[in-house]
Amino acid sequence: MDLEALGKYSALHPKPAGLALQYGTAGFRTKAQQLDHVMFRMGLLAVLRSKAVAATIGVMVTASHNPEEDNGIKLVDPLGEMLHPSWEEYATQLANAEEQELQKVITEICQKAAVNLHKDALVFIGRDTRPSSEKLSQSVIDGILVLGGQYHDYGLVTTPQLHYMVCCQNTQGQYGKATLEGYYEKLSKAFMELIKQSHSSGECQRHLKIDCANGIGALKLSEMKPYFPQEVLIHIYNDGTKEKLNHLCGADFVKVHQKPPGGLDMKPNERCCSFDGDADRVVYYYKDTTGHFHLIDGDKIATLISIFLKELLAKVRQNFKMAVVQTAYANGSSTRYLEETLKVPVHCVKTGVKHLHHKAQEFDVGVYFEANGHGTVLFSKAAETKIRQLVKEEKDDEKREAAKVLENMIDLINQTVGDAISDMLVIEAILALKGLTVQQWDALYADLPNRLLKVQVADRRVIDTTDAERRVVTPPGLQEKIDALVKKYKLSRAFVRPSGTEDVVRIYAEADTQENADALAHEVSLAVHHLAGGRGAPPQP
């Protein structure tokens, strides 16, 4: 380790006094001007991680659906998955170390994680379209070079594209070519193979309006357009040429406010969708003839994909284990529909993509989506091998054809992480193959009315939960109170959980009517305020 160079470069990326940040599910995220030292140090960490696992590591500079002034950074592990939890701890230590402790912290990480500094290191870097991203990714490069790492800068890419590249690189091209062209070719080829078989190639079905949140999704979707056949009519809105990133648009805005984004005029029954700022989430929506807005969120996306895959799996007759993984935020109607109508097992896990991804890996086919539109489908190695083998060798026509559709689905889905472009193509292919309109998809089940609230508390750590965050262990008496309140309403449930980032407690309630869901949420918020050290006046209805 060249200590002189480390000291010299570190001084060029000084840490603001008194700033402490935590590496969470989304990596680091805060105001862009506070991140220069973090970027430099994550360049260092990426090299250490690469040397530790003898593989290429990814670094993505983005703050996803946050306002344009913010930025952030997350590391990508060798198979395109999120950084290992033990290294999240190292990231936090390294980001918060004082200047003079930097070398000591690096040495400690090397000892704890058995890092051989003489090994080679390669880091892939990507960034979103924020004004601050280019300069910040340069700081990452400074960190990589100080520890003698090599890097490849992909420049502007969506977050899922970077995850994809890292996975391709570390599987020696088995997953695909580690280039943007490779990504576009693999996805568009699988998509075209799928829609070739759709009978309802009615013109109107192919129109899709996409709100790209004024972010990277617009750039990459435009680059991908030439790879699609003529009959795919994608119309891009909020492309970043006029307005600010994520401002009054994007998947998060549409989901939270339950209304269409600015910058996109919707006509009745037109199919529309929104990406978020770094294009790893997608939600669909439409307006009916009475002008009423209908949101189709991650739960309904997971349901559509599950229906389609279940039919195909039945045709190939292979005893594959399929399941859907949700969090407690999934609408009760979706869980009921999946379990009772579709007869697909549903598993509930703690909030956070890493928990969903981890659980989905236990099945031959694991479908997971958060209600916010982030999700994907995972296929076990054994299932994938068997499906590809059936395509080549199966004599029975029906079985072989079903296997072929499954094989194209496997190639179209980005299994490393939720990917708005890939998920959107999967949905479009399924709607075309099943001849479904957006209204018919929406009508699969009716969402139970629900309400999200938050209560400010003095210390969020007083709330401890169990059963995938669906029940409260502490403070004493709170769960009993929630149980009693839930009993008052039909089809109701409610849960509370501490925020991962601020001293607030989040409350979710659902019931048979909006009025009852609102009343239940309010009563639970009063109980939380009273029993969990609420700050300020009690919540008002």
Domains of the chain by residue range: 3-156, 182-281, 298-417+437-443, 450-532
Multiple choice CATH, 182-281, 2.60.40, 3.40.120, 3.40.50, 3.30.43: 3.40.120
Q: Which CATH class is domain 450-532?
A: alpha beta
State yes or no: pLDDT of 437 exceeds 60.
Answer: yes
Mean pLDDT of 487-516: 92
Q: State the Cα–Cα distance between residues 233 and 28, nearest whole angstrom.
A: 37
CA–CA separation, 359 and 310 (whole Å): 19
> Which H or E element spans position 471?
strand 471-474
Q: Which amino acid is at 429?
A: A
DSSP notation for 321-376: -EEEEEETTS-HHHHHIIIIIS---EEEE-SSHHHHHHHHTTSSEEEEE-TTS-EE
Residue 367 corresponds to which amino acid?
A: V
Same fold, 182-281 and 450-532: no
How many whole angstroms separate alpha carbon 467 and alpha carbon 82? Answer: 24
- Supply the mean pLDDT for the chain: 94
User: Given 3.40.120, 3.40.50, 2.60.120, 1.10.10, which CATH number is that of 298-417+437-443?
Assistant: 3.40.120
Strand partners, 464: 474
| Pairing, β 493-498 against β 504-510 | antiparallel
Q: How many CB atoms sit inside 10 A of residue 517's CB?
A: 23
Tens of pLDDT, residue by residue over 82-99, are: 999 999 999 999 999 999
Structure tokens at 252: 């998060």
SS3 of 176, please?
A: coil
| CATH class for the domain made up of 3-156 | alpha beta
The one-letter amino acid at 15: K
Mean pLDDT of 502-521: 94
- Residue type for position 149: G
Burial class (CB in 10 A: 0-12, 13-18, 19+), 384: middle
- Given a cut of 50, whether residue 204 has pLDDT beyond it is no
For residue 404, pLDDT beyond 60 = yes
Query: Given 10, 50, 64, 133, which residue is catalytic?
Result: 64
- CB contact at 8 A, 322 and 364: yes
Annotated binding-site positions for Mg(2+): 64, 276, 278, 280
Categorize the per-residue pLDDT at 503 as very low, low, confident or very high, splitting at 50, 70 and 90: confident
pLDDT score at 18: 87
DSSP code, position 252: H
Poorest-pLDDT segment among 59-73, 129-143, 188-202: 188-202
Binding residues: 64, 276, 278, 280, 370-372, 497-501, 506
Site of tokens 């210390």: 459
The residue among 177, 157, 158, 159 whose CA lies nearest residue 167 is 177
Tokens 């590591």 belong to residue: 57
Task: Give me 17's structure tokens.
Answer: 């006094």
498 in helix, strand or coil?
Answer: strand
Residue 179: both structure tokens together: 């280039």
Residues pairing with 66 in the sheet? none
Summarize pLDDT for 386-400 with one digit per residue, the tens: 999 999 999 999 999
Question: Per-residue b/e over 77-109, b at no fewer than 16 CB within 10 Å?
Answer: bbebbbbbeebbebbbbbbbbeeeebeebbeeb
Contact status, residue 147 vs residue 44, Cβ threshold 8 Å? yes
Unique residue bearing structure tokens 């993505």: 60
Q: Report CA dihedral (370, 373, 374, 378) to the nearest 10 degrees.
A: 80
For residue 241, the Cα-to-chain-centroid distance in whole angstroms is: 25
| Band (231; pLDDT cuts 50, 70, 90) | confident
pLDDT tens per residue across span 244-272: 999 999 999 999 888 999 999 999 999 99
pLDDT digits (tens, 9 = 90+) for 155-169: 999 999 999 999 999
CA 426 to chain centre: 16
CA distance 205 to 432: 7
Res 429: pLDDT: 94
pLDDT value at 4 more than 90: no
* Length of the chain measured in residues: 541
The yes-or-no verdict on residue 201 having pLDDT over 60 is no
- Distance between CA atoms of residues 39 and 290, nearest Å: 50
* C-alpha to C-alpha distance for 188 and 494, rounded to whole angstroms: 42
Residue 121 in contact with residue 149, Cβ under 8 Å?
yes
User: CA–CA separation, 499 vs 22, rounded Å?
Assistant: 13
User: Active-site residue 64, yes or no?
Assistant: yes
Ramachandran class of 241: left when φ > 0, alpha when ψ lies in -120 to 50, beta otherwise: alpha
Query: Of 216, 182, 39, which Cα lies nearest the Cα of 123?
Result: 39
Instruction: Using the predicted structure, report yes or no on whether residue 339 has a pLDDT greater than 70.
Output: yes
Annotated binding residues for substrate, written as ranges, equal: 370-372, 497-501, 506
Residues 73, 350: Cα–Cα separation, whole Å: 23
Cα(105)–Cα(277) distance, integer angstroms: 33
CA distance readout (Å), 326 to 202, 276, 330, 374, 521: 34, 20, 6, 11, 21
| Residue-wise pLDDT tens digits, 7-57 | 899 999 999 988 899 998 889 999 999 999 999 999 999 999 999 999 999
Partners of 493 in beta bridges: 510
* pTM, full prediction: 0.94
| 3 state SS of 120 | coil
Alpha carbon distances (Å) from 97 to 52, 91, 224, 358, 508: 21, 10, 42, 31, 37
Q: What is the pLDDT of residue 199?
A: 64
